[in-house]
Structure formats: structure tokens, C-alpha cells
A and B are shown apart, each in its own frame.
Chain A
Amino acid sequence: MTVDFEPQSEEEAAEIVRAVAERSARLKLVGGGMRGIVADVAADAVLSTRRLCGIVSYNPAEMTMSALSGTPVSEIEAVLTERRQMLAFEPMDPRGILGLTGEPTIGGVFAANVSGPRRLSAGAARDHLLGIRFVNGEGAVIKSGGRVMKNVTGLDLVKLLAGSHGTLGLLTEVTFKVLPLPPASATVVLSDLNDAEAAGAMARVMAMPYEVSAAAHLPESVRGRFLGGALPDGPATVLRLEGLTATVSARAEKLAQACSVAGPVAVLEDGASRKLWREIRDVAPYADGTERALWCISIAPTSGHQLVAALRLETGVDAFYDWQGGRVWLRMEADPEAALIRRFIKALGGGHARLIRASAAMRAATPVFEPEAPAVAALSARVREKFDPKGIFNPGLMG
């Protein structure tokens, strides 16, 4: 990918945007050279935030960090780990499934609202984003939010920009909340449940007071592709506990006891547990070097398995479940079947499907983002127009 602009400062970025806006040209915004999202953007020029790089401030005692948007996630995580802290929303590393080699940036993570398994208990990326600075489509530098945990001063543009995929503004700096790294982690593995049984079991577990931080179900078709095949035989319903060492083992024991009525139970200790959840986070089974269509679906947790069951009657799919069943990673054998999937989601009470990976031909033919209801789509278009009146940022993306 050719990069046309690599501003080194916020002012420079604003100048570039103003110049581009003046020419009514279109600009594709990228992070550290990753494509990051499957949709193709046809633009006149590419702007990378790669050189807007560096941690601006880190205050471990207040659990906040500010960083320029092009700062690699790896750099941030390294600094946090040193102080036994973390990004609690567990952003995934998409390089495996997308077959890319770039460096994910913190701006990209928030622009795409990337969240992993702990989203179930700790919230999404957007829930941890406290403040932003961005350049709008007219080249004005705007700030919103701040660096304190509670802040309701003015409209929450922070949430709006999170997950807007660079269509409302160019993030230049992000301030976010970090949390203590849990000293211990353990995973209770409940085996031999089918998808429907697993959904029921996960719902019951989440109603128990054991503070399960993540709950996933790995059907037999994918189970062997985790931990190098070391998970016990049969479909695995996996439940993660985190916290102080002593309490994690006590809770794991109680949880295992509670689960044992449903099927065989095993407990993964710290190391294996952490590895397993990293693999779930990064969708390891589908990091298969192919371009087969991969969907990330959000739906009510108890409906995930119903969706997959319905699809199986119509087409070839493989799937596993995170977020108690509410996030479905769905790999298609052939056609992306966007219309079918979206029809079923609607019939099951709503949610949305986003195409994460597909061949160029499929991408061209498939709406990557879930189409919105007409009134909401019209509203979203008006909002976009208010941030980027000339439509210069990432044209074609997000409606």
C-alpha cells in the first residue's frame, strides 16, 4: 500500500486534512500499515497515523494512559505489563485471520472498537476510552472527554468516534482507562455439551456469583485447534475466572462443582488458561491462511446457537462462540450468504453481522457492515455529514 501522508504532529495532520478538503479529494485513513478491516476504500490518497506515535502520559496510580493514535498496541501493552496493568477489553490481534504483517495501532483499536473475550464482563474498547483528540473533515482539531473516569460534560463524542472506522474524524490522541492485571487466571472446561446445552449452561453460570470474566463454547469442529489439541475430548464450554490467586482457585472449585452436573469438568491452570483465551481472542481456528468468508456476529447470547443451527440447514458453516454465545465467529465454506445470515439474525430478535474476511470478489459483492434501518441510516448519514461535510474520510465505508 502506498502511503501519501504520514503526519508527525496533530497540526500537520490538520493541515493535510484542510488541504485535502479544499481540493474535495478523498482520503483513506490507516493505522500502522494494517488494512484492519475487510472493506475496500477507494480514495485519492492514503494517510497513515504511523508516525503519530508515542505514549503521551501514563499514570499507573490513576489507571489512565494517553497515547498518540499511531502508537503500536504492542508498545502500549509492553509498558502496561511492566506495571502489572492491562487493556481490560482485550483487543484481538487480527493479523492471524487476515494474514497481514503490519502493526496494529491503538488508534485503530479504538476506531474499530475492537474488543475480546473480556468484553462480556469488563466492557468493550469504547467503555474504556475516556478522551480523544481528532481532526474533523474540515481540518479542525477537536477534543472530547478527558482523563477522568466519570465525565458527562457535553455530548459524548468519544463513544461516537469509537467504532466509527475513521469516517467521522482522524483520531490523533486517545486517553483510556487501564486496569490491574489479574494475578491469577483459571479456566473451567465443561465437556460434551452440544451448542444448545452449552448456551443454557453459560447462561446459568453467568447467573452465579463467581464473576466469570469470559465464557466461550468451542464445538467439536474447532476444539482440536486450540492449545494444540490439548483440550479434553468433546465440545468444550470454557469459563474463565480471574483475580487474586487464592480466590481464583476457590472460585474455580465452586464453579467446577456447580458445573459437574452438566458433564465432565476439568480446570486449566494459569499458563494454559491464558494461552487458550489468547487463541480465542485472536480466532485461532480460522487463522487458516485462507480467504474463506469469516463473519463476526453479535446477537443475544442465547440466540447464537440457534442462528448457527438454522444456517446449517441451508449452507456449509463452521462456528464457535464467545461472549456467552453472543459473539459468533462464523466461517463459511463457500459463499458469504450475507442476505441469509442477516435475515436469520433479524428473525432471532436482532443483532448484526460484520464481514471480517473474504476474497476480493466477495468483498466487492457483499455489504461488509450490517445495513441499518432506513431512519437510523438517514440519521447516521446526517451525523457523518456534520463531522465530514465534504465526505473526504474513508468514502464508502459504513454506509
Chain B
Amino acid sequence: MRVSDQIAFLAPRRSVLDRREAIIADLADLLPPGCLVSDIRGLVPFETDAFIAYRQLPLAVTLPETTAQVAAVLKYCGRYGIPVVPRGAGTSLCGGAIPQEDAVVIGLSKMTRILDIDLANRTATVEAGVTNINISEAVMPEGFFYAPDPSSQLACTIGGNIGMNSGGAHCLKYGVTTNNLLGVKMVLFDGTIIELGGKALDAAGYDLLGLICGSEGQLGIVTEATVRLLARPEGARPVLFGFSSSEEAGACVAEVIGAGIIPVAIEFMDKPAISICEAFAKAGYPMDVEALLIVEVEGSEAEMEATLTSIIEIARRHGVTTIRESQSATEAALIWKGRKSAFGATGRIADYICMDGTVPLSQLSHVLRKTGEIVARYGLRVANVFHAGDGNMHPLILYNINDPEDAARAEQAGNDILRLCVDAGGCLTGEHGVGIEKRDLMLHQFSQADLDQQMAARAAFDPQWIMNPSKVFPLEGRPAA
């Protein structure tokens, strides 16, 4: 049994499947050579993203090079009611880019130009396929950076970041994508190209930009984005705090924030996560602790000292056993490399599914303990590595994907954990998105009326429900198309 049998996709539109050959021929006319994948062999690698529990082959994959080509493909798909699934780098952890049988994938991986860097206004305008880290690298020599830093920033694209309203470790201080996005050029389902926002700090009219950010490719396809750049701080230093229990580390985080101290980042790793990350990055994490916090402070030397002193004082009250300041830029880079590679590095020991619930800080220790109990009940293991400062948890449920029963147990444990997060006053997803993974849990967080209103807003953009239609909203209870 293929694992994908476990989740339902929308029933493919017969009218689309029957016209497969004609659609492919038409798409080939709309695009330059090398921008269309329709061969069955070539489609297979597009059947999933970084959420490998489910898979589905698309009808075709288009890789346009310009906004005009994106518009041409969308106009065509809009006219014939062909579902469209946007794809950036395919690093979604919730199956946001998993296609469906009758869908044309629009991949933005060929749109990788940096169009404008305006340092006086501190903005960068880039095509949607530019990777997150490329933006920061492009402005680093001049002392700037782009703040949101999802752990997959090496590979993930700005278009995908906007689709999921991505966060990252440093969002504790700088906010997530929506707080750093100034404008987009995007294409609607019918091929209409619109521009929202620009270099000004706020835009006219409704905050459509805010609605689009995090809309998971359901409202249109962003092809260009203007983002805010920030000046690099004078200095930045990650410090490692080791604890003999997860509860102590969690309580320490809550007290730091409660004391009004907001470091740039507070990251949490438990023992399994520490050993996984150390195996890849060799960052020198302490291996004799049960839980580790990476706290990054920044500013001038004096500022870092002052902030650290307060944090150390709090950490001592919570029984910190190890405190280690990074001594060099290389060491700091390794500490972050290890943390940011945590999910991938987990592949060394097992398959995993990654949860993304956010809980109020006061609930952190409770939810950590409960998570351990849930996973144990299903006879599985868990590694925890997450953004503790804003309560955004990432339990990695370890399992064997080649064992269907194990996979089913992992899925159920994941659902239980997410319900736990919502019941603790939090939400299903803090930064990865609902995608297909959490779609059927939406009614645990929202009422049908809440979802009806969201779907109504969605329909204002895509009345035919062709944009990434199997995602986000439960398949039952949708308005008749």
C-alpha cells in the first residue's frame, strides 16, 4: 500500500484527465523549450515535496521563466478549469506543493533574478524563485540582511516563504514573512497580473498583501516580491545553555520572555535532537545534557553582556548545567548550521514527520511532557527541536516509512499532538502551513462558520477553486463550485 492512500485528494476532474494530451500540447505552445515536463518519468520526482508521507503525480509540470509566461499558463488553466499547484523549491513540510492527478504544477525555479536592491530605502525586489538566503547574501557585503530565516533558507524560495508566511529562528525579534514583506507582483487564476504594495511601508486599500501572505498558493501565484532589508547588528553571539530536563529548559524560556528580555532567538533541542545535529554539523553541542537552549543575543558588546547577564541569572534559577558562549564567527556559524539542518539530519536515524503547533509559553513544559507521553503511547520515538521563544514547537516523530503500520501510528500521534497544541490555547501550525497534512484537523481549531468565511475570501480570488485546491480546507463542507 502506498502511504498516499491514507489521505484524500479532490476527485480529479474527468474533463481535464480526458484532455491530457491536448493540454500538454497547448502548454508546450505557451512556453519556451525546456520549460515543460510531461514525460511520465520526469513527472515522478515532482510527486511530492519535503513532506514525503503522501504522493501524487501531476498532469504536467511547467517551469515558466517570466511573469508573462506564468500568466499565460494560468489564463489557460483558468479558462479550462484545470487545477494548478504552485511550487517553489519543494521544501514544504506539510505537503503544500504535492500535486494532484489533474493538476498542472507551476514551478518558479527558473525565476531567480534579483531585480533591484535599494539600500537607501532598504528594500530588495526579487523574482519568486530566488532563495531566501540569496537575498541576505546579495546584501551582506553592504551590511544588510533579510530577517526571516526558515531553517530551509538555503533552498526555500521567497515565493514559497510568502505562500506559507514562513518564520524561522530569528523571527522572535524580527517577525515572520508577513512583517517583512512590502509588495508583490502576482498572477490571479485567470491570468490577471496585479501589483500590491511597493517600497512604501504601508499600502492603500485592503491589506490584500497580508491576506496573500500565508495563503498557500490558493489566491494566486506570486512572481515578484519586494522585501524589507535590515542593517546587520554590531555583533551577534549564540550561547548554549544545557539543562538536565526539558521541563527546566521550557520554564527558563518562559521566565526569560516574561522578564521582558527578548533575545534574537531562543531555540530548543532535546537530547535526541542534539545528537542528530551534532552528527552532521560537529558544532560542539554538549552531549551530556537532556535539553539545550541556543540563545542568540546581539548588539554592541556591552548590550550583549547586559542581556546575557540577565539571562544567565534566570537560567541559574532553573538549574542550568552548562553555559557555553561561542568564541568565534566560525563556531557561531556551526551552531546555527547544526540547528538549521536538524530536520534533514534526522534522516540519518529515521524517517520523520514534523509537527509545527504553537502554544502559549506558559504551556510549553506541559505540552512537551504530554508530547512525550503521546509518542510513547504509540510506541514511537520523538526528537524535539524548535523555536522556544515564540512557543513554536517542532516535535519530530520518528518512524519507519516502509512499515505502513508504523506510518499510520506516526500520523495518529501527530494528530494527537496538534490537537493538544490547540487545546492548550495554541494553533495547528506556526510557520509551516496547513497544506494537505493538517487540512482535516482545521475544524479542531476553527468553527465551520470561521472556515466558511475564509473560503468565501478565497472565492473572491479563485471562484472556480482551481488554485491548489486539495489543500488547507477540509474536503467536506466546501461550497459547491
The yes or no answer to A185 lying at the interface (CB within 8 A) is no
Given A156-B210, A379-B194, A299:B454 Cβ within 8 A: no
Once the chains bind, are A372 and B205 in contact (CB under 8 Å)?
A: yes
Most chain B CB atoms below 10 A, which of A84, A302, A377: A302
Once the chains bind, are B203 and A153 in contact (CB under 8 Å)?
A: no
Q: Bound state CA distance, A242 and B165, in angstroms?
A: 29
Q: Bound state CA distance, A377 and B460, in angstroms?
A: 12
Given A211-B299, A246-B302, A380-B206, A148:B430 Cβ within 8 A: yes
Given A301-B120, A302-B120, A159:B207 Cβ within 8 A: yes
B266 to A: closest C-beta gap in Å: 12
CB-defined contacts of A120 to chain B, threshold 8 Å: 201
Q: Bound state CA distance, A159 and B176, in angstroms?
A: 13
CB-defined contacts of B65 to chain A, threshold 8 Å: none
A60 to B: closest C-beta gap in Å: 7
Q: Bound state CA distance, A200 and B461, in angstroms?
A: 40
Instruction: Select from chain A the residue with minimum beta-carbon distance to B202.
Output: A298
CB-defined contacts of B211 to chain A, threshold 8 Å: 155-157, 159-160, 383
Q: Bound state CA distance, A151 and B432, in angstroms?
A: 9
The residues in B between 411 and 432 inclusive whose CB is less than 8 angstroms from any CB of A are 425-432
Instruction: Select from chain A the residue with minimum beta-carbon distance to B461.
Output: A379
Q: Bound state CA distance, A287 and B273, in angstroms?
A: 58
Once the chains bind, are A152 and B165 in contact (CB under 8 Å)?
A: yes
Instruction: Select from chain A the residue with minimum beta-carbon distance to B452.
Output: A140
B338 to A: closest C-beta gap in Å: 22
A128 to B: closest C-beta gap in Å: 9
B84 to A: closest C-beta gap in Å: 18
Given A159-B207, A300-B121, A373-B194, A207:B359 Cβ within 8 A: no
Q: Bound state CA distance, A352 and B202, in angstroms?
A: 9
Once the chains bind, are A149 and B201 in contact (CB under 8 Å)?
A: no
Instruction: Select from chain B the residue with minimum beta-carbon distance to A161.
Output: B207
Once the chains bind, are B200 and A376 in contact (CB under 8 Å)?
A: no
The residues in B between 400 and 458 inclusive whose CB is less than 8 angstroms from any CB of A are 425-434, 438, 442, 445-447, 449-454, 456-458
Q: Please tell me which one of the listed residues A143, A158, A162, A372 contacts residue B447 in the complex, with CB atoms under 8 A apart.
A: A143
Instruction: Select from chain B the residue with minimum beta-carbon distance to A351.
Output: B200
The yes or no answer to B392 lying at the interface (CB within 8 A) is yes
A252 to B: closest C-beta gap in Å: 12
The residues in A between 291 and 347 inclusive whose CB is less than 8 angstroms from any CB of B are 298-303, 323, 326-327
B198 to A: closest C-beta gap in Å: 4
Most chain B CB atoms below 10 A, which of A59, A155, A370: A155
CB-defined contacts of A379 to chain B, threshold 8 Å: 188, 194, 208, 460-461
The yes or no answer to A124 lying at the interface (CB within 8 A) is yes
Q: Bound state CA distance, A312 and B452, in angstroms?
A: 50
The yes or no answer to B391 lying at the interface (CB within 8 A) is yes
The yes or no answer to A62 lying at the interface (CB within 8 A) is yes
CB-defined contacts of B167 to chain A, threshold 8 Å: 150, 152
A114 to B: closest C-beta gap in Å: 11
B226 to A: closest C-beta gap in Å: 10
B461 to A: closest C-beta gap in Å: 7
The yes or no answer to B459 lying at the interface (CB within 8 A) is yes
Once the chains bind, are B200 and A300 in contact (CB under 8 Å)?
A: yes
CB-defined contacts of A200 to chain B, threshold 8 Å: 120
The yes or no answer to B213 lying at the interface (CB within 8 A) is yes
CB-defined contacts of B257 to chain A, threshold 8 Å: 61-63
List the one stretch of B48-56, B97-105, B229-237, B315-323 in contact with chain A: B229-237
- Contact bitstring A40-82, B, C-beta under 8 A = 1, else 0: 0000000000000000000111111000000000000000000
Q: Please tell me which one of the listed residues A123, A149, A350, A372 contacts residue B199 in the complex, with CB atoms under 8 A apart.
A: A350
Instruction: Select from chain B the residue with minimum beta-carbon distance to A145.
Output: B427
The yes or no answer to A365 lying at the interface (CB within 8 A) is no
CB-defined contacts of B387 to chain A, threshold 8 Å: 150
Instruction: Select from chain A the residue with minimum beta-carbon distance to B358.
Output: A148
Instruction: Select from chain A the residue with minimum beta-carbon distance to B391.
Output: A148
Q: Please tell me which one of the listed residues A63, A155, A323, A372 contacts residue B214 in the complex, with CB atoms under 8 A apart.
A: A155
B341 to A: closest C-beta gap in Å: 21
Given A143-B447, A298-B200, A156:B165 Cβ within 8 A: yes
Q: Bound state CA distance, A359 and B165, in angstroms?
A: 42
Q: Bound state CA distance, A302 and B200, in angstroms?
A: 10
Q: Bound state CA distance, A386 and B445, in angstroms?
A: 22
Most chain A CB atoms below 10 A, which of B194, B205, B258, B438: B205
Once the chains bind, are B192 and A126 in contact (CB under 8 Å)?
A: no
Interface size on B, residues (CB 8 A): 94
The residues in B between 155 and 201 inclusive whose CB is less than 8 angstroms from any CB of A are 164-165, 167, 171-172, 175-176, 178-179, 188, 192-196, 198-201
Once the chains bind, are B457 and A164 in contact (CB under 8 Å)?
A: no
Given A148-B425, A376-B196, A379-B194, A160:B203 Cβ within 8 A: no
Once the chains bind, are A154 and B442 in contact (CB under 8 Å)?
A: yes
Q: Bound state CA distance, A164 and B210, in angstroms?
A: 12
The yes or no answer to A194 lying at the interface (CB within 8 A) is no
The yes or no answer to A349 lying at the interface (CB within 8 A) is yes
Q: Please tell me which one of the listed residues B210, B254, B362, B459 contacts residue A159 in the complex, with CB atoms under 8 A apart.
A: B210
CB-defined contacts of A250 to chain B, threshold 8 Å: 300, 302-303
The yes or no answer to A369 lying at the interface (CB within 8 A) is yes
Once the chains bind, are A151 and B427 in contact (CB under 8 Å)?
A: yes
Q: Bound state CA distance, A247 and B426, in angstroms?
A: 35
Q: Bound state CA distance, A152 and B175, in angstroms?
A: 13
CB-defined contacts of A303 to chain B, threshold 8 Å: 199
CB-defined contacts of A123 to chain B, threshold 8 Å: 175, 179
The yes or no answer to B38 lying at the interface (CB within 8 A) is no
Once the chains bind, are B200 and A352 in contact (CB under 8 Å)?
A: yes
Q: Bound state CA distance, A297 and B38, in angstroms?
A: 49
Q: Please tell me which one of the listed residues A84, A142, A243, A300 contacts residue B449 in the complex, with CB atoms under 8 A apart.
A: A142
CB-defined contacts of A168 to chain B, threshold 8 Å: 206
Q: Bound state CA distance, A163 and B425, in angstroms?
A: 26
Instruction: Select from chain B the residue with minimum beta-carbon distance to A381.
Output: B460
A108 to B: closest C-beta gap in Å: 16
Once the chains bind, are A349 and B199 in contact (CB under 8 Å)?
A: yes
Once the chains bind, are A327 and B303 in contact (CB under 8 Å)?
A: no
CB-defined contacts of B461 to chain A, threshold 8 Å: 379, 382
The yes or no answer to B390 lying at the interface (CB within 8 A) is yes
Q: Bound state CA distance, A369 and B428, in angstroms?
A: 37
The yes or no answer to B262 lying at the interface (CB within 8 A) is yes
Instruction: Select from chain B the residue with minimum beta-carbon distance to A370.
Output: B204
CB-defined contacts of B453 to chain A, threshold 8 Å: 136, 140, 142, 144, 157, 386-387
The yes or no answer to A15 lying at the interface (CB within 8 A) is no
- CB-based closest 4 A-B pairs: A159-B210, A61-B258, A180-B260, A352-B204
B-contacting residues of A (Cβ < 8 Å)? 59-64, 84-85, 113, 115, 119-120, 123-124, 126-127, 136, 140-144, 146-160, 162-164, 168, 179-180, 199-200, 203, 206-211, 243-244, 246-247, 250-251, 298-303, 323, 326-327, 349-352, 354, 369-370, 372-373, 375-377, 379-380, 382-387, 398-399
Q: List 23 A-B contacts (CB under 8 A).
A: A59-B360, A85-B260, A123-B179, A127-B175, A143-B447, A148-B359, A148-B390, A150-B171, A151-B429, A152-B214, A153-B442, A153-B445, A154-B472, A158-B210, A203-B121, A209-B299, A247-B299, A301-B121, A351-B200, A372-B205, A376-B196, A380-B205, A383-B206
Q: Other CB < 8 Å A-B pairs besides A211-B233, A247-B306, A349-B199, 14 of them?
A: A64-B360, A140-B452, A148-B359, A150-B387, A155-B454, A156-B178, A160-B207, A207-B142, A207-B143, A298-B204, A300-B123, A349-B198, A369-B205, A376-B195
A-contacting residues of B (Cβ < 8 Å)? 118-123, 142-144, 164-165, 167, 171-172, 175-176, 178-179, 188, 192-196, 198-211, 213-215, 218, 231-234, 254-255, 257-258, 260, 262, 299-300, 302-303, 306, 358-362, 387, 390-392, 425-434, 438, 442, 445-447, 449-454, 456-461, 472
